[in-house]
Protein backbone atom coordinates (compact mmCIF):
# COMPACT_ATOMS: atom_id res chain seq x y z
CA UNK A 1 0.00 0.00 0.00
CA UNK A 2 2.78 2.33 0.99
CA UNK A 3 4.55 1.84 -2.31
CA UNK A 4 1.32 2.51 -4.18
CA UNK A 5 0.83 5.92 -2.57
CA UNK A 6 4.47 6.68 -3.16
CA UNK A 7 4.03 5.88 -6.83
CA UNK A 8 0.90 8.00 -7.05
CA UNK A 9 2.65 10.92 -5.44
CA UNK A 10 5.55 10.62 -7.79
CA UNK A 11 3.28 10.71 -10.84
CA UNK A 12 1.55 13.86 -9.63
CA UNK A 13 4.52 15.70 -8.21
CA UNK A 14 4.73 18.13 -11.08
CA UNK A 15 1.58 20.17 -11.52
CA UNK A 16 -0.42 20.13 -14.74
CA UNK A 17 -0.73 16.39 -15.24
CA UNK A 18 -4.52 16.28 -15.16
CA UNK A 19 -4.91 19.22 -17.49
CA UNK A 20 -2.35 18.09 -20.05
CA UNK A 21 -3.45 14.47 -19.95
CA UNK A 22 -7.10 15.42 -20.38
CA UNK A 23 -6.22 17.66 -23.29
CA UNK A 24 -4.19 14.91 -24.94
CA UNK A 25 -7.07 12.43 -24.70
CA UNK A 26 -9.52 14.98 -26.09
CA UNK A 27 -7.25 16.02 -28.92
CA UNK A 28 -6.29 12.52 -30.02
CA UNK A 29 -9.93 11.46 -29.90
CA UNK A 30 -11.14 14.42 -31.92
CA UNK A 31 -8.37 14.35 -34.46
CA UNK A 32 -7.64 10.66 -34.93
CA UNK A 33 -10.04 8.28 -33.23
CA UNK A 34 -13.28 9.98 -34.30
CA UNK A 35 -12.60 10.08 -38.08
CA UNK A 36 -11.20 6.56 -38.01
CA UNK A 37 -14.18 5.18 -36.13
CA UNK A 38 -16.43 6.70 -38.81
CA UNK A 39 -14.77 4.39 -41.34
CA UNK A 40 -15.50 1.33 -39.25
CA UNK A 41 -19.01 2.57 -38.47
CA UNK A 42 -19.74 3.03 -42.17
CA UNK A 43 -18.57 -0.49 -42.90
CA UNK A 44 -20.89 -1.80 -40.20
CA UNK A 45 -23.81 -1.10 -42.55
CA UNK A 46 -22.73 -4.20 -44.39
CA UNK A 47 -23.35 -7.77 -43.33
CA UNK A 48 -20.26 -9.98 -42.88
CA UNK A 49 -20.98 -11.68 -46.17
CA UNK A 50 -21.24 -8.46 -48.15
CA UNK A 51 -18.16 -7.06 -46.41
CA UNK A 52 -16.16 -10.17 -47.23
CA UNK A 53 -17.27 -10.13 -50.89
CA UNK A 54 -16.15 -6.53 -51.28
CA UNK A 55 -12.78 -6.89 -49.60
CA UNK A 56 -11.93 -10.23 -51.20
CA UNK A 57 -12.79 -9.03 -54.71
CA UNK A 58 -9.83 -10.11 -56.92
CA UNK A 59 -9.34 -6.51 -58.04
CA UNK A 60 -9.11 -5.42 -54.38
CA UNK A 61 -6.74 -8.26 -53.49
CA UNK A 62 -4.50 -7.41 -56.43
CA UNK A 63 -4.41 -3.81 -55.23
CA UNK A 64 -3.44 -4.87 -51.68
CA UNK A 65 -0.62 -6.99 -53.00
CA UNK A 66 0.68 -4.21 -55.19
CA UNK A 67 0.41 -1.56 -52.49
CA UNK A 68 2.05 -3.62 -49.80
CA UNK A 69 4.68 -5.07 -52.11
CA UNK A 70 5.67 -1.77 -53.70
CA UNK A 71 5.67 0.01 -50.34
CA UNK A 72 7.86 -2.69 -48.81
CA UNK A 73 10.39 -2.57 -51.64
CA UNK A 74 10.43 1.23 -51.55
CA UNK A 75 10.88 1.29 -47.78
CA UNK A 76 13.74 -1.22 -47.98
CA UNK A 77 15.47 0.77 -50.72
CA UNK A 78 15.12 3.86 -48.52
CA UNK A 79 16.59 2.02 -45.55
CA UNK A 80 19.75 1.23 -47.50
CA UNK A 81 20.26 4.52 -49.31
CA UNK A 82 18.74 6.74 -46.62
CA UNK A 83 21.21 5.32 -44.10
CA UNK A 84 24.10 5.95 -46.49
CA UNK A 85 22.95 9.53 -47.11
CA UNK A 86 22.57 10.13 -43.36
CA UNK A 87 26.09 8.75 -42.86
CA UNK A 88 27.58 11.03 -45.51
CA UNK A 89 25.73 14.07 -44.17
CA UNK A 90 26.90 13.44 -40.61
CA UNK A 91 30.43 12.19 -41.14
CA UNK A 92 31.84 14.27 -43.96
CA UNK A 93 32.13 17.94 -44.77
CA UNK A 94 31.92 18.98 -48.38
CA UNK A 95 30.88 22.07 -50.31
CA UNK A 96 27.13 22.71 -50.47
CA UNK A 97 26.53 20.24 -47.67
CA UNK A 98 23.71 22.24 -46.10
CA UNK A 99 22.07 22.57 -49.51
CA UNK A 100 22.21 18.79 -49.86
CA UNK A 101 20.84 18.47 -46.35
CA UNK A 102 17.92 20.69 -47.27
CA UNK A 103 17.23 18.82 -50.50
CA UNK A 104 16.52 15.68 -48.52
CA UNK A 105 13.43 17.34 -47.05
CA UNK A 106 11.98 18.37 -50.39
CA UNK A 107 9.84 15.24 -50.85
CA UNK A 108 8.12 16.28 -47.61
CA UNK A 109 7.30 19.74 -48.90
CA UNK A 110 6.54 19.11 -52.54
CA UNK A 111 2.88 18.56 -53.47
CA UNK A 112 2.93 14.88 -54.30
CA UNK A 113 1.06 15.37 -57.58
CA UNK A 114 3.92 17.57 -58.80
CA UNK A 115 6.38 14.83 -57.89
CA UNK A 116 4.20 12.32 -59.73
CA UNK A 117 4.11 14.39 -62.90
CA UNK A 118 7.86 15.05 -62.79
CA UNK A 119 8.67 11.38 -62.27
CA UNK A 120 6.31 10.33 -65.04
CA UNK A 121 7.94 12.77 -67.44
CA UNK A 122 11.36 11.32 -66.58
CA UNK A 123 10.48 7.65 -66.65
CA UNK A 124 7.90 7.55 -69.47
CA UNK A 125 9.11 5.45 -72.43
CA UNK A 126 10.10 8.65 -74.27
CA UNK A 127 11.25 10.51 -71.13
CA UNK A 128 14.81 11.58 -70.26
CA UNK A 129 15.59 8.43 -68.33
CA UNK A 130 12.90 6.09 -69.65
CA UNK A 131 14.25 6.22 -73.23
CA UNK A 132 17.44 4.40 -72.19
CA UNK A 133 15.63 1.28 -71.02
CA UNK A 134 14.14 -1.25 -73.36
CA UNK A 135 11.45 -2.08 -70.79
CA UNK A 136 8.76 0.20 -69.46
CA UNK A 137 9.27 1.89 -66.10
CA UNK A 138 6.41 4.35 -65.87
CA UNK A 139 2.95 2.72 -65.95
CA UNK A 140 4.33 -0.49 -64.35
CA UNK A 141 4.81 -1.54 -60.69
CA UNK A 142 8.44 -0.44 -61.12
CA UNK A 143 7.27 3.15 -61.61
CA UNK A 144 5.13 2.90 -58.49
CA UNK A 145 8.15 1.78 -56.49
CA UNK A 146 10.16 4.74 -57.77
CA UNK A 147 7.44 7.19 -56.71
CA UNK A 148 7.13 5.56 -53.29
CA UNK A 149 10.91 5.57 -52.83
CA UNK A 150 10.95 9.27 -53.66
CA UNK A 151 8.38 10.24 -51.05
CA UNK A 152 9.77 7.94 -48.33
CA UNK A 153 13.44 8.99 -48.41
CA UNK A 154 13.33 11.82 -45.82
CA UNK A 155 11.85 9.56 -43.17
CA UNK A 156 14.88 7.28 -43.00
CA UNK A 157 17.46 10.05 -43.35
CA UNK A 158 15.84 12.20 -40.68
CA UNK A 159 15.51 9.42 -38.14
CA UNK A 160 19.00 7.96 -38.61
CA UNK A 161 20.82 11.31 -38.80
CA UNK A 162 20.38 12.43 -35.16
CA UNK A 163 21.38 9.02 -33.82
CA UNK A 164 24.54 9.05 -35.92
CA UNK A 165 25.26 12.59 -34.78
CA UNK A 166 25.08 11.58 -31.13
CA UNK A 167 27.19 8.48 -31.70
CA UNK A 168 30.40 8.78 -29.71
CA UNK A 169 33.50 8.45 -31.81
CA UNK A 170 35.24 6.90 -28.80
CA UNK A 171 33.40 3.64 -29.31
CA UNK A 172 34.81 3.40 -32.81
CA UNK A 173 38.27 4.20 -31.49
CA UNK A 174 37.88 1.56 -28.79
CA UNK A 175 36.94 -0.95 -31.46
CA UNK A 176 39.98 -0.02 -33.56
CA UNK A 177 42.33 -0.19 -30.58
CA UNK A 178 41.04 -3.70 -29.87
CA UNK A 179 42.16 -4.74 -33.32
CA UNK A 180 38.93 -4.55 -35.31
CA UNK A 181 39.10 -3.40 -38.91
CA UNK A 182 36.78 -0.76 -40.32
CA UNK A 183 34.16 -3.20 -41.63
CA UNK A 184 34.05 -5.04 -38.30
CA UNK A 185 33.64 -1.74 -36.46
CA UNK A 186 30.77 -0.70 -38.70
CA UNK A 187 29.10 -4.10 -38.48
CA UNK A 188 29.49 -4.84 -34.78
CA UNK A 189 29.67 -1.41 -33.17
CA UNK A 190 28.00 1.28 -35.29
CA UNK A 191 25.26 -0.61 -37.09
CA UNK A 192 23.64 -2.22 -34.01
CA UNK A 193 23.18 1.17 -32.39
CA UNK A 194 21.47 2.42 -35.55
CA UNK A 195 18.97 -0.43 -35.74
CA UNK A 196 16.22 1.20 -33.65
CA UNK A 197 16.44 4.39 -35.72
CA UNK A 198 16.52 2.43 -38.96
CA UNK A 199 13.45 0.46 -37.88
CA UNK A 200 11.61 3.67 -37.05
CA UNK A 201 12.60 5.16 -40.39
CA UNK A 202 11.49 2.01 -42.17
CA UNK A 203 8.16 2.04 -40.33
CA UNK A 204 7.49 5.67 -41.20
CA UNK A 205 8.52 5.29 -44.84
CA UNK A 206 6.46 2.13 -45.24
CA UNK A 207 3.40 3.63 -43.54
CA UNK A 208 3.66 6.73 -45.67
CA UNK A 209 3.97 4.65 -48.84
CA UNK A 210 0.90 2.59 -47.95
CA UNK A 211 -1.27 5.70 -47.92
CA UNK A 212 0.41 7.53 -50.80
CA UNK A 213 -1.89 8.56 -53.61
CA UNK A 214 -0.92 11.78 -55.35
CA UNK A 215 2.50 10.88 -56.72
CA UNK A 216 1.50 7.36 -57.72
CA UNK A 217 -1.63 7.98 -59.79
CA UNK A 218 0.30 9.70 -62.55
CA UNK A 219 3.11 7.19 -62.89
CA UNK A 220 1.07 4.05 -62.22
CA UNK A 221 -1.13 3.92 -65.29
CA UNK A 222 -3.88 2.66 -62.98
CA UNK A 223 -4.79 -0.51 -64.82
CA UNK A 224 -7.08 -2.65 -62.65
CA UNK A 225 -5.39 -5.90 -61.53
CA UNK A 226 -2.01 -4.62 -62.73
CA UNK A 227 -1.06 -1.14 -61.60
CA UNK A 228 -3.92 -0.07 -59.40
CA UNK A 229 -2.97 0.75 -55.81
CA UNK A 230 -5.48 0.43 -52.98
CA UNK A 231 -5.86 4.20 -52.27
CA UNK A 232 -6.73 4.67 -55.94
CA UNK A 233 -9.14 1.75 -55.84
CA UNK A 234 -10.90 3.43 -52.90
CA UNK A 235 -10.99 6.69 -54.86
CA UNK A 236 -12.54 4.91 -57.85
CA UNK A 237 -15.28 3.47 -55.62
CA UNK A 238 -15.96 6.94 -54.19
CA UNK A 239 -16.25 8.40 -57.66
CA UNK A 240 -18.89 5.81 -58.38
CA UNK A 241 -20.74 6.88 -55.20
CA UNK A 242 -19.99 3.46 -53.66
CA UNK A 243 -19.28 4.97 -50.25
CA UNK A 244 -19.88 1.74 -48.36
CA UNK A 245 -17.57 -0.25 -50.62
CA UNK A 246 -14.90 2.44 -50.27
CA UNK A 247 -15.05 2.41 -46.49
CA UNK A 248 -14.93 -1.40 -46.43
CA UNK A 249 -11.65 -1.38 -48.37
CA UNK A 250 -10.44 1.54 -46.26
CA UNK A 251 -11.13 -0.40 -43.08
CA UNK A 252 -8.92 -3.21 -44.37
CA UNK A 253 -6.14 -0.68 -44.92
CA UNK A 254 -6.79 0.80 -41.51
CA UNK A 255 -6.65 -2.47 -39.64
CA UNK A 256 -3.67 -3.67 -41.66
CA UNK A 257 -1.74 -0.46 -40.95
CA UNK A 258 -2.67 -0.62 -37.29
CA UNK A 259 -1.30 -4.12 -36.87
CA UNK A 260 1.80 -3.28 -38.85
CA UNK A 261 2.55 -0.28 -36.62
CA UNK A 262 1.77 -2.31 -33.53
CA UNK A 263 4.20 -5.05 -34.59
CA UNK A 264 6.94 -2.53 -35.32
CA UNK A 265 6.40 -0.87 -31.95
CA UNK A 266 6.61 -4.20 -30.16
CA UNK A 267 9.88 -4.98 -31.95
CA UNK A 268 11.22 -1.56 -30.98
CA UNK A 269 10.16 -2.07 -27.41
CA UNK A 270 11.84 -5.47 -27.27
CA UNK A 271 15.10 -4.02 -28.58
CA UNK A 272 14.97 -1.12 -26.15
CA UNK A 273 14.24 -3.42 -23.26
CA UNK A 274 17.09 -5.72 -24.13
CA UNK A 275 19.74 -3.03 -23.64
CA UNK A 276 18.27 -1.25 -20.68
CA UNK A 277 16.61 -3.85 -18.50
CA UNK A 278 17.73 -3.68 -14.92
CA UNK A 279 18.14 -6.85 -12.97
CA UNK A 280 16.42 -6.67 -9.62
CA UNK A 281 15.61 -2.99 -9.88
Partner 1 sequence: MSIELREIDKHFGQYHALQKISLSIQPGELVALLGPSGSGKTSLLRIIAGLETLDEGTILFDQKEVVHLSAKERNIGFVFQHYALFNHMTVFDNVAYGLKVRPKKLRPSKKEIEDKVIELLSLVKLEHFAKRYPSQLSGGQRQRVALARALAVEPKVLLLDEPFGALDAKVRKDLRRWLRKLHNDYHITSIFVTHDQEEALDVADRIVIMNEGRIEQIGSPVEVYENPASPFVYDFLGNVNLFKGRLRKGELINGDFSFKVPGSNLDSEQETVGYVRPHDVAIEKEVRPNTVKATVLHIHPIGATIHIELHRPDTNDYLEAEITKEFFTQLAIEKGDTVYIHPKQLKVFVPEDFSI
Cβ at position 96, least distance to partner 1 in Å: 23
Q: Which stretch binds partner 1 (CB under 8 A): 24-32, 41-49, 92-100, 189-197?
A: 189-197
In the complex, minimum distance from the CB of residue 215 to partner 1, in angstroms, rounded to a whole number: 37
Residue 175 lies near partner 1 (rule: CB under 8 A)? yes
- Which of 188, 240, 243, 266 touches partner 1 (CB under 8 A)? 188
Considering only residues 244-273, where is the footprint of partner 1 by CB under 8 A? none
278 binds partner 1 (CB under 8 A): yes
Choose between 97 and 182: whose C-beta lies nearer to partner 1.
Answer: 182
CB 197, min distance to partner 1, A: 13
In the complex, least distance from residue 98 CB atom to partner 1, rounded to whole angstroms: 22
DSSP characters over the chain: -HHHHHHHHHHTSSTTHHHHHHHHHHHHIIIIIHHHHHHHHHHTTS-HHHHHHHHT-HHHHHHHHHHHHHHHHHHHHHHHHHHHHHHHHHH---TTHHHHHHHHHHHHHS-HHHHHHHHHHHHSTTSTTGGG-SS--TTSHHHHHHHHHHHHHHHHHHHHHHHHHT--HHHHHHHHHTT--HHHHIIIIIHHHHHHHHHHHHHHHHHHHHH--HHHHHHH---TTTT--HHHHHHHHHHTT-HHHHHHHHHHHHHHHHHHHHHHHHHHHHHHHHHH--TT-
Residue among 55, 73, 189, 199 that touches partner 1 (CB under 8 A): 189
Q: Binding to partner 1 by residue 174, rule CB under 8 A?
A: yes
Residues found near partner 1 in the complex (CB under 8 A): 168, 170-171, 173-181, 184, 188-189, 192-193, 274-279
Amino acid sequence: MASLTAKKQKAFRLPGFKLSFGFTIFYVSLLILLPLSMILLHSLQLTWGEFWTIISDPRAVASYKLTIGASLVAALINVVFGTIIAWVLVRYTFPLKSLMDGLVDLPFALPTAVAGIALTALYAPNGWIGQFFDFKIAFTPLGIMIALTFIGLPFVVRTVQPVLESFRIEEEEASASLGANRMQTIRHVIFPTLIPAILTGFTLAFARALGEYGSVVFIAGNMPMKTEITPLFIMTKLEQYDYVGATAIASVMLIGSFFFLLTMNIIQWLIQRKYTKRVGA
